[in-house]
């Protein structure tokens, strides 16, 4: 431990509630101090303002910190300026977690990137105006929602490669709420599902045979035997969904079948 030089210290006390401490040789929890102003209220709330040997200027206060400027400034002037000359500017709300920025107009400008991340929701609402997205490349991705093309939704992708008509599931489940919803829809309306599958297969056979086999004929035959087809569809859906969800979907299908 370095030798403490007490001769350099200057301590002035202005009553029991305020003091000035300059070059305190003792290392405080905040580090070695150049100077510090200390104050305390009658209720015991403390405030410390000062600079440490690393050059950091610190304001520590037990209650609210208020910065107000511009009471007598010219209209449309700049009242408060916060600048980071060589590093970052960080604003953190630890306990309540709310950070609010309010003004007549708000501009966020970056020379390079603007990243917005949320652990739950991101909501953007416009009152009487518009929302404009403009860029060289605009992309979207997700599992469900009205911004996605039907073929990009999970309800379609889970049946990809099974031979089942993915386009039929939008009429069975709307809005899509999971694999259990598909199973429930098939069980509740097997004839509807059979007709949809029949139409899809009938249309494919009609195109393949140049119209010799009509889609109405194939569709009616398949729809009339929908029991087996429905069982095939449910079993196929079970298999695909089980692989996709690690077996969790089996529970949903078993619950519905019971």
Average confidence (pLDDT) over 194-207: 54
Average confidence (pLDDT) over 233-254: 49
Q: In this predicted model, what pLDDT tens digit does every residue of 8-28 receive, in sequence order?
A: 889 999 999 999 999 888 877
Number of Cβ atoms within 10 Å of the Cβ of 245: 15
Residue 96: the pLDDT is 81
d(CA 226, CA 216): 15
* Same domain as 57, residue 156: no
Residue 9: the pLDDT is 87
Average confidence (pLDDT) over 37-66: 94
Residue 144 falls within a domain, yes or no?
A: no
Higher per-residue confidence, 166 vs 147: 147
Residue 200: the pLDDT is 54
Confidence at 69, pLDDT banded by 50, 70, 90: very high
Residue 181 falls within a domain, yes or no?
A: yes
- Is the Cβ–Cβ distance between 202 and 216 less than 8 Å? yes
Q: In this predicted model, what pLDDT tens digit does every residue of 89-111 receive, in sequence order?
A: 999 998 888 999 999 999 999 99
Average confidence (pLDDT) over 215-235: 50
Residue 185 falls within a domain, yes or no?
A: yes
d(CA 191, CA 195): 6
Q: What is the mean pLDDT of the chain?
A: 74
Reading the block at residue 224, the tokens are 């009339």
Q: In this predicted model, what pLDDT tens digit does every residue of 164-192 receive, in sequence order?
A: 655 555 554 444 455 555 555 555 555 55
Percent of the chain clearing pLDDT 70 (strictly above)? 58
Higher per-residue confidence, 245 vs 185: 185
> Which whole-number Å values give the CA distances from 197 to 176, 221, 225, 229, in the listed order?
19, 11, 11, 9
Residue 48 falls within a domain, yes or no?
A: yes
Residue 45 falls within a domain, yes or no?
A: yes
47: containing domain: 6-61
Residue 110 falls within a domain, yes or no?
A: no
Instruction: Examine the pLDDT at 257 and tell me if it is beyond 80.
Output: no
State the total domains in the chain: 2
| End residue of a domain, out of 36, 61, 86 | 61
Residue 133 falls within a domain, yes or no?
A: no
Phi, psi of 51 (to 5 degrees): -130, 140
Residue 215 falls within a domain, yes or no?
A: yes
Reading the block at residue 232, the tokens are 């095939």
Residue 236: the pLDDT is 53
């Amino acid at each position: 431990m370095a030798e403490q030089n007490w001769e350099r210290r200057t301590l002035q006390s202005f009553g029991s509630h305020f003091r000035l401490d300059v070059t305190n040789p003792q290392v405080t929890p905040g580090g070695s101090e150049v100077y510090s102003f200390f104050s305390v209220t009658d209720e015991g709330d403390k405030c410390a303002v000062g600079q440490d040997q690393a050059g950091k200027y610190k304001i520590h206060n037990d209650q609210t910190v208020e910065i107000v400027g511009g009471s007598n400034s010219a209209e449309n002037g700049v009242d408060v300026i916060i600048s980071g000359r060589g590093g970052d500017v960080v604003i953190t709300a630890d306990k309540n977690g709310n950070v609010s920025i309010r003004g007549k107009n708000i501009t966020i400008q970056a020379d390079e990137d603007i990243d917005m991340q949320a652990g739950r929701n991101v909501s953007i609402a416009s009152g009487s105006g518009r929302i404009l997205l403009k860029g060289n490349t605009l992309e979207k991705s997700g599992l469900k929602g009205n911004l996605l093309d039907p073929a990009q939704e999970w309800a379609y992708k889970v049946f990809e490669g099974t031979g089942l008509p993915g386009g039929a599931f939008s009429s069975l489940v709307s809005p899509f709420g999971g694999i259990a919803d598909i199973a429930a829809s098939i069980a509740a309306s097997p004839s509807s599902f059979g007709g949809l599958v029949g139409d899809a297969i009938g249309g494919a056979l009609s195109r393949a045979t140049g119209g010799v086999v009509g889609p109405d004929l194939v569709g009616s035959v398949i729809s009339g035997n929908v029991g087996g087809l429905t069982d095939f569809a449910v079993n196929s859906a079970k298999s695909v969904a089980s692989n996709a969800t690690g077996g969790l979907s089996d529970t949903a299908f078993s619950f519905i079948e019971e």
